[in-house]
Structure 1
Amino acid sequence: MKTFRVASLCFLATLGLVAAACAPVTPGGGGSNNLAPVPVLTATPTSGDYPLVVDFSSAGSTDPDGSIATYSWNFGDGSPLVSTADAIHTYTTAGSFTAKLTVYDTANKSSSATTLITTTTPPANVAPTASASATPSVGKVPLLVNFSSADSTDTDGTIASYSWDFGDGTAASTAADPTHTYTAAGSFTATLTITDDDGATDTADVAVQVNANVGPTAAANSNVTGGQVPLTILFSSAGSTDPDGGITSYSWDFGDGNGSTTANPTYSYSIPGAYVATLTVADIEGETDSASINITADAIPNVAPTAVAVATPSTVRQGLAVSFSSAGSADSDGTIASYNWDFGDGGTSSIANPTHAYLLAGPFVATLTVTDNAGGVANATTTVTVTPNLAPTAAAAGTPSSGKQPLLVSFSSTGSSDPDGT
């Protein structure tokens, strides 16, 4: 006897008889006409070391005569059931587990599918290996250092964290490759601590030497150290050095209120005197040093003036004026600043061309002194002869010399004379 399902009726193909409606037994219950859903279970991965995270999927599950209404996941390790279409589950112990997906259609008919998940005990964690480097590792304060953990490794996982102790009491850094500035001189040990994804740690040290700055040394030079003004000097800083860096600035003080910021200046002294020229050099850290040169600027030797004294007249009767002249007096390298006359009879004058009357007879030497603008002095003399005054001779005549009164007389001085004058 054969049974055929046609629509919702069952037929008995024997003797042409039609059997009564029937409902064959199907898994999971449901009406006699309902077809069971078809589950499809996919798991990725299906094996590995615990903790093993597995992605479960019901994609592809179908219901031939309807739709899937609910899902039920049993992961086989005693954990609670999950009712989502897809699930993620973590197996935390070693073993073999049968994961089962059960799907239910709208008539509550169900079907199940299973897969085997195998987990194994993971090998013991291998600690990471720390490697620390510093660039530069030696320098002068302040020293900026680039630290690197680039060669640190973890053979069975990943490095989860970094911690740098710079060894100078400052705050640690959690960057893999930090930079740090050392602000004090000394020997420091920077320590790198790394931690892997299983919590194992390792450390590595790197030495950093920070040296104190050594100041520069100044050397001041000049082509000459003395001479007459205007005195032009070529100054030089050759020989100035800085043993651990470079000289960044030069400052010259010429000692007369002037200066220069060039390394090798040229300067001219225009005023006589003694000067101290000082060079100050500075390095990149601001430390300085100075060196000095003594400079003597001499005045040009003064040429004394020339004095010329002339008296007109050179012979004169006492009481009469004499004109004195300094014409012809000169100063070849400057000017005559003052004139002083001593007339030889106690009289003086400070004008260039005075007049003077001698009240006494005799020879007198008049002296002219001229002084130039640099203090040079010259003298010149001239002799004046003063003769005594002779009395005049009087001659008197009257015409007539006698007669009766009233008598008109004409008087005459004819014959009167003055032998040395009028």
Structure 2
Amino acid sequence: MALFARPDDGDTAIPYSFQSQSFDPDGNSGNMTTIWTLSDLNQTIVNQTAIVHTFTTPGTHSVQLVVIDELGRASLPKSYIIEIANPLPLPQMTIYEGRDATTGAPIIAPSDDLSQFNWRHTFTNTGALFAAPGTWLRFDSTGSRDGDVEFVGMDVPLDESDPNWNGITQYSWDFGDGSPLVNSPNTWHTYSTPGSYTVTLTLRDGFGTGDVNHSTRDVVVSQAPEIVTSTPFEEAVYSGFDYLLGGSAIDHDGLLGMSAWYDDDVTNDSDNNGITDDDHDSVDSIVGADALVFNWDIDDRVDSDDDGDTTNDWQPQSEDGFVFVNWSNPGDIYVILEVCTGIGVCEEKGYPLRIRDPAEKDDSLADFSLDSLLPKAEDSGILLGALLLLLLVLGWIVMRQPTEVEIEAQEAVDAYDVSQVVTEGGVLGMDHHAPPPKPKHLTKDDRRSKESGYVRPVTSRRRR
């Protein structure tokens, strides 16, 4: 009787072990012949009590065992159906910056002739790719293949007729910036806007309707530095004198807590760690304030490099953060500050500057300008607060209405022609003035009449 245990379903990466547990009920079981038949083999396996086999193709497979006793009688076949799952495609992705093979500079335009380029890999501490806006990046899927073991070592994409076909029937690149998808194993792309993007490579294999798998990687596109120097000098500048010209700026990528380095040759493993594209050829991080590079064009009247442009004669700031300058001739000039990040994203800012004649130092009004009358930026908050308080006080004075008691008191002042009034608690007192004189033209009866309008003064009489 043929017997063996049925293993669980699996995939093409699992080796299966089949062990015969057959016996001969009326003879010597040790003298039986075993015959194994597997659906993905073109031949049987004879006289092996146990076999190990890996199914190289996904789908439905069968395993059958027949035993023959010493009298030549064959058992009924014992067989099982095993479902071998299709392993998903295995995407591989590299993203490198193309550099001119001769000059080492960034390339202006891509090309399918890759011999023109060297490859730089710039990466962050989180594993994201780091690039400047406008940089041409090469997206490559070399090494991708179907997960079936039969495609190990195969590297030809899309062409099913090629003996080295890698089992992939479709590629799709999504660059995460809203641009159209690209259905190609390898492609070029550039980002124009700073920010963080997620690149997705999707593969489809040729099994059935095609199983899909994808891989992702983040790309960080660098921001331009922010120049925060508002003016190179607060005081007047005179020709023939020495000055220190300095600027300051902010690297916003550094404020995100990010670090980044570049590997200038992805084919050379300079740190001998077994990975060729993660070497820190830039020892220090190219992100942050310490990586910023400051340059000055100190006089737009002069073309010191004779290139026809008077605004790009750059002088680098020293490690102390200054450029030593001395303008020999007075006049109105324009100085320009250029600040570049470690990855080469630059920003420029220009400053009009009047270089004065030293003779003007004796003129007390030489430095006078309308700006002298205007508040400085650091004083604007205090000035604004004082103006608001003054407006509130003036508004209260204008809008305040007198109370009823104050109105009556004022009417009393007008009626009695009071020359001096003493107030108590802010209210005019009616008992702090001399009584009006008695009119002489009124008779006694008139003074006692209520219709005469005469108000009799209050007097004190002592009883006798």
Q: TM-score, length-normalised on structure 2?
A: 0.32
Larger Rg: 1
**Higher relative contact order by CA 8 Å / sep ≥ 6: 1 or 2?**
2
Structure with the higher strand share, 1 or 2? 1
Q: TM-score, length-normalised on structure 1?
A: 0.34
Structure with the higher helix share, 1 or 2? 2
